[in-house]
Structure 1
């Protein structure tokens, strides 16, 4: 089971006292979450003003700091349009990456996602197919690229647990009918984060947790930091076992 710590996401700086934004903050947080039990990292690179950025001059030094902080731990980077709204500029920026992450998430519901996936596959970056909707799952199965992906990340956006679980079931049905047997990670956001994490544990799926997905601990109180969230996720795995 992969245990992915999603450190910051598209949260605005200051959304939580412990939200890591700068490269130094992300490196320090990486050390803490790995010490807590995380086996993978997922980050949204930030520029000097704290905004999301995919420019090579942002991505390259961030990867260097993270790899120095946690040698050997796989690092996944977003390619979402939240980081670069213009799909053609996004493609150009990713094409110009000198240092490459170990993995990259590609939201197949976004314009230009298939082209970015092909680019990264050609550059031998492990691909995570982010499927938040049934339509995204259908795009994956129809694209002819399923074999190029290493992982599936199912992250429904619905605000209630019942609706989110309906989407998870529908997405998995599309994948099963198409014979897509890739490892699957389930995750929620905000109020669905912990229920979907528990669902993933029960189904022996990969999991992820971090301030990208929720600012709250399982008891509804504000989370201390990313390492605390990872520790609580590990405790839930142990309790299930």
Structure 2
């Protein structure tokens, strides 16, 4: 999965950061040609700020769908310190997307609305990927499986190494403890990693049996090296590094959830 922009970075951080719908579409098409299965989508308002606006999402979804037919698209409901749970719920209700990332930590701000959000996703057939940052997130998700807030079959998660806000850089040696925390839940897991060791962390994830999310949302370049020219350059370099370790890229028609 490619995460090409995120909620916070701007063109001032990297000129090739895709913001407009047509830029997202071009990035998606290029990365899909390289073998990326899915796009993790953030949209921005006219001022370039993170948005959960359904109209902006529909525009971007249409553009990416036309440019990269067959590529899966996952929207985000991330608050980024801007939106409350009601706004996140409204986004899911309005769009009823095929896939969405949903932060357990953010949903926990309003348990009643969280229950509604997961119910809406279940009714719409939305593939929910739980965002897990810390052991507290894992504990919360565990309680929600037990009390029925989260349906039992919503077993996809993305593990986050490193912290954008604090500048904590991800390291591969952070992964084993996280995997031990989630082991009882038997999740289909994906990894994303903030910082210059992104590729090293993602290689560790592959070798541990996980899926990976890569892109400018998490890292603009390798540690001690110039920034990647664009998202596609990062994807290409990672695929090459994985191949050098004997890993093969799954065909684009592979159901990765079934194979994880």
For 1:102-181, what aligned pairs fall within 5 Å after superposition?
102-110=98-106, 111-112=109-110, 114-115=114-115, 116-144=117-145, 145=150, 147-158=152-163, 159-161=168-170, 165-166=173-174, 168-177=175-184, 180-181=185-186
> 1:30-82: CA deviations, max 9, x gaps?
10111122111101112222211111111111111111111121101111111
| Partner in structure 2 of residue 36 of structure 1 | 34
SS of 1:13 mapped into structure 2 = coil
Aligned to 2:8: 11
Quote how far apart the aligned CAs of 1:101 are.
Answer: 3.0
Q: Which residue of 1 aligns with 2:220?
A: 215
The counterpart of 1:197, out of the listed 202, 207, 211, is: 202
Change (3 A) 1:53 1:161: closer
Unaligned ranges ≥5, structure 2: 247-260
* Per-residue deviation, 1:84: 4.3
Cα displacement (A) at 1:219: 5.8
CA contact 1:54–1:94 (8 Å) conserved in 2: no
Q: CA RMSD in A?
A: 2.0
* Deviation digits for residues 108-165 of structure 1 (CA, Å, limit 9, x no counterpart): 1112483333322221110101111111111111101262424211112352445x74
User: Shift of the alpha carbon at 1:6?
Assistant: 0.6
- How far does residue 182 in structure 1 lie from its aligned partner after superposition? 2.5
Q: TM-score, normalised by structure 1?
A: 0.88
Distance (whole Å) between structure 2 residues aligned to residue 112 and residue 70 of structure 1:
36
| CA deviation string 1:2-51 (max 9, x = no partner) | xx111100233212110000111101111011112211110111222221
Match of 1:183 in 2: 188
Secondary structure, counterpart of 1:130 in structure 2: strand
Q: Work out the number of aligned pairs and report it.
A: 232
SS of 2:161's equivalent?
Answer: coil
Using the TM superposition, name which of 149-158 and 58-67 deviates more.
Answer: 149-158
Match of 1:74 among 46, 65, 72: 72
User: Cα gap change, 1:218/1:201 in structure 2, threshold over 3 Å: closer, same or farther?
Assistant: farther
Secondary structure of the residue aligned to 2:193 is: coil
Q: Distance in 1 between matches of 2:91 and 2:2?
A: 25
TM-score when scaled to structure 2?
Answer: 0.82
Unmatched segments (≥5 aa) in structure 1 = none
Greater length-normalized contact order (CA 8 Å, ≥ 6 residues apart): 1
- Secondary structure of the 2:158 match is strand
CA contact (8 A) 1:130 1:155 kept: yes
